[in-house]
A and B are shown apart, each in its own frame.
Chain A
Amino acid sequence: MNRGLLSVSHLQALPLSLTLLMFLVFPIAVIIIVSFWDYDSYQLIPGFILDNYQYLLTSSVTWQAYLNTFKYAISTWLITLVLGFSIAYYLAFHIRTTRMQTLLFMLCTIPFFTSNIIRMISWIPLLGRNGMVNSFLLSTGLIEQPLEFLLYSDFSIILAYVHLYTLFMVTPIFNTMMRIDRRLIEAARDAGAAPWQILLMVIVPLCKSGILIGSIFVLTMVMGDFVTVSIMGGGLHASVGLIIKNEISLLQYPAAAASAVVLLITVLIMLMVMFRLVDIRKEL
């Protein structure tokens, strides 16, 4: 075993390291530097000013956007957690053959490999003013006016998040459930535990790491998202990511960079809290 400064391992890890250095580390460094720069309508002006941050942190638009984004993140997290856990539980404990488990699990994952944008567009004919949901409700007489909140609303944004991200909960939770020793459940049952006690006191604690990995995925993706908010919100709803995207469109790069740094710090704080609770590398 070679533990020197340079080994075969270093050579083998070189392509990955260089790619991440070039397209992750340098770009983030550039963002941090530019966030302290000045700008006018024509150009970026190198320097060291705190104006971008000062403007950002004193603007009510920023706080409103953060509030909105946290609202999306927490709602999506709660729904995907309950839904994802139930689906994973069904696959892991109710499906008896491995073949069937694999098949049903694949059905859950296939949409992940298709376009998110198209999956969002697909909701339009269902949720629009003249969409299928409204037509159906009108025809049954349950409502007299088409429901307006179905599309381009907080509802449609969270619906799309749940649609896109539940898989990120199902996969890690299913993975940890499959590694639970079934004898533990037998033992709990023999000791007189009721089904709900087995669920809450045996299975949920043993799935902790899967739940945390899923939560990390869902929370960070919603926090940084701008695509779903802009398509499903119809341009009427703000999120942190969308503010950055708009600043980019207006070529206000230093302002966008400062917003991006603050978003990054927010996400890092959330991650630090979550990583405290789980060592992800042990769980693979």
Chain B
Amino acid sequence: MARTTGNRRPRSFYWLTALFALFMLFLYGPTLTIGILSFQGPNGGLTFPMNGVSLYWFHNLFTEQQVGDFGGSFTRSLLLGVGVMLCTTVFSLLAGFAYRRRFAGSNTLFYLTLASLIIPSILISLGIGLMFDRLGWAPHWYSSAFGAHLTWTLPFGLLIMFAVFNRFNPSFEAAARDLGASHWQTVRLIVLPLIAPSLLGVALFGLTLSYDEFARTLMVSGSFNTLPLELFGMTTNVTTPVLYALGTLTTVFSFAVITLIVVLMSVSRQRQQHH
């Protein structure tokens, strides 16, 4: 047990610290490994040793045909991610407001949202694919895949909004109303600024989960691949470090997005404290 009094740590602390360190190595080690291997020399292979150090495979990514449509798939995934992010944030916010009151059907909608989260992804893929097929609609990354991604991101958004409003202190709103603020003014000047950091969190889920989504996209992206589909295709037929180069770039991009949003979140928290 951890004792809160005194500074002596129990033995379990050291065991668990070692476990945690190993867990971090387990989580990040493989990613770092392909990060290093993507700088292989032109004759290098998929494993160590490093056969020289170069940017050859990154360069290769932007020039040769073998990689497929890297630029196009990246652009599509990014546009899709931003669209899904915006929809997820707005839809979850609105639904979060809805759930501050009881309404007929609220339980059904809640369980439907949970179902959307835990239903096997392949059912979403197959179902939307079949539905579009039967309706005679052509699937596209910006229509069918867009909807498929929302089934994955909206549940996270709604659960975050639940957590936010469960902890939200309604006396701020009551005070604003007592001071004569209209309903809309209360929302815009009091509620939204207070929950802004959490909304950024919802946006982070929307963007990154869509950007990396594969299983729900498989059957519904139409004739053009998103980046994860392109990557999956590469796992079976690319046997050079160019695969690692693409993986490294994608991961760096994800890290950049995460960092950006986390910085924005802490900025908006600090602004709250100043007010």
Contact = CB atoms under 8 A, between A and B. Distances in A.
Interface of B is mostly: helix
A195 B131 contact: no
B215 A226 contact: yes
- Chain B interface extent, by class: 35 or more
A277 to B, nearest CB: 15
Contacts of B120: 220, 223-225, 241, 260, 263-264, 267
Greatest chain A CB density within 10 A among B33, B100, B119, B166 is at B119
Given A108-B27, A132-B48, A122 B119 contact: no
A73 to B, nearest CB: 12
Contact of B251 (A15, A114, A226, A271): A114
Contact of A30 (B101, B134, B219): B134
Given A19-B150, A90-B19, A280-B114, A111 B28 contact: yes
Interface string A85-120: 011011001101000000010111011011111110
B176 interface: no
Contacts of A2: 101, 103
B37 interface: yes
B46 A16 contact: no
A64 interface: no
B133 to A, nearest CB: 8
B97 A12 contact: yes
Greatest chain B CB density within 10 A among A23, A28, A106 is at A23
A123 interface: yes
Interface stretch (B53-61, B67-75, B88-96, B189-197): B88-96
Given A15-B91, A198-B1, A9 B106 contact: yes
A27 B126 CA distance: 8
A125 B47 contact: yes
A9 B101 contact: yes
Given A115-B212, A118-B247, A132-B48, A24 B112 contact: yes
Given A13-B109, A16-B158, A264-B123, A83 B1 contact: no
Interface of B: 1-2, 4, 9-10, 12-13, 16-17, 19-20, 23-24, 26-31, 33-34, 37, 46-48, 87, 90-92, 94-95, 97-106, 109-110, 112-116, 118-131, 134, 147-148, 150-151, 154, 158-159, 162-163, 166, 204-205, 208-209, 211-212, 214-215, 218-219, 228, 231-232, 235, 243-244, 247, 250-251, 254-255, 257-258, 262
Interface of A: 1-5, 7-17, 19-20, 22-28, 30-31, 34, 83, 86-87, 89-90, 93-94, 96, 104, 106-108, 110-111, 113-119, 121-126, 128, 130-132, 135, 163, 166, 182, 185, 189, 195, 198-199, 216-217, 220-221, 223-227, 231, 241, 244-245, 248, 253, 256-257, 260, 263-264, 267, 271, 280-281, 284
The 6 closest A-B CB pairs, nearest first, are A224-B120, A27-B127, A122-B30, A23-B147, A12-B98, A9-B103
Given A12-B95, A111-B28, A260-B126, 17 more contacts: A4-B104, A15-B95, A23-B151, A28-B127, A30-B131, A90-B16, A94-B16, A115-B228, A115-B254, A118-B250, A121-B243, A124-B47, A125-B37, A223-B120, A227-B215, A244-B122, A271-B118
12 contacts: A9-B98, A15-B87, A15-B91, A20-B112, A24-B124, A26-B127, A31-B127, A87-B23, A106-B262, A108-B27, A115-B250, A260-B123
